[in-house]
Amino acid sequence: MEEQSEGNRSSSYNLDFQHKTILVGDSSVGKTSLLVQFDQGKFIPGSFTSTVGIGFTNKIITVDDLRVNLQIWDTAGQERFRSVTHAYYRDAQALLLLYDVTNRQSFNNIRAWLTEVHEYAHKDVVIMLLGNKCDMSSSRVVRTEEGASLAKEYDIPFMETSAKTGLNVELAFMAVARELKHRSSQPDEPSFQIHEYIESQKKKNPCCGLLSL
């Protein structure tokens, strides 16, 4: 998937910031579906095979009246593509690390993914943990509290998402974009608190069931 969002192509010359965000995690945790939900606002069931290598989408969003281009890279989760993924860590500004709440092994592997991230990515990279497929409550095997506890251990923001319903998908990308925008434009001011931003959105939209630390 190597495309620019429809409607963004003609206006991409007038940007304030551009940042690279990478989606990582085991195969079949829903990385591609999450990206399509954010980019196109829809879920296409049964339409994706496992990503081979890496693909990307450009998504232009507005953050505090500034135009930000998120270059979002969707990586393969299979072990044989891991060396390819490592190469993209080095110049990434943000990493969204996904597991599937219906797949215990994908959650257990998060520590290994974090080890790789800390080895290959820049030390200041923004990391967010996402428990995807939270709409599948009858198949859930990883409790919300487990994801929150792991994120707290590594001091990274956490929320559960659903690529199918769109729950918290936009919030995840917007929170990352705001953090990156603040670092680029206001580095000498008090740091943007991504945890507090997520909480503020939770209070504004209590029906959305936002989850964070």
- Are 61 and 68 a contacting pair, CB within 8 Å? yes
The confidence score (pLDDT) of residue 173 equals 95
Note the pLDDT of residue 79: 53
pLDDT digits (tens, 9 = 90+) for 163-201: 999 999 999 999 999 998 888 876 666 667 888 888 888
**What pLDDT, on a 0 to 100 scale, did the predictor assign at position 44?**
83
pLDDT per residue, tens digit, the chain (213 aa), is: 444 444 444 344 568 889 999 999 998 999 999 999 999 999 987 655 454 457 789 999 999 888 999 999 988 755 545 566 777 888 899 999 999 999 999 999 999 999 999 999 999 999 999 999 999 999 999 999 999 999 999 999 999 999 999 999 999 999 999 998 888 876 666 667 888 888 888 677 654 444 444
Give the C-alpha separation, 34 to 13, whole Å.
Answer: 26
CATH superfamily of 2-208: P-loop containing nucleotide triphosphate hydrolases (3.40.50.300)
Could you tell me the residue ranges of all domains in the chain?
A: 2-208
Q: How far is CA 39 from CA 57, 93, 100, 139, in A?
A: 8, 19, 20, 27
Inter-axis angle of helices 169-185 and 194-204, nearest 10: 140
| Cα–Cα separations (whole angstroms), residue 141 to 31, 61, 104, 145, 146 | 19, 34, 6, 12, 10
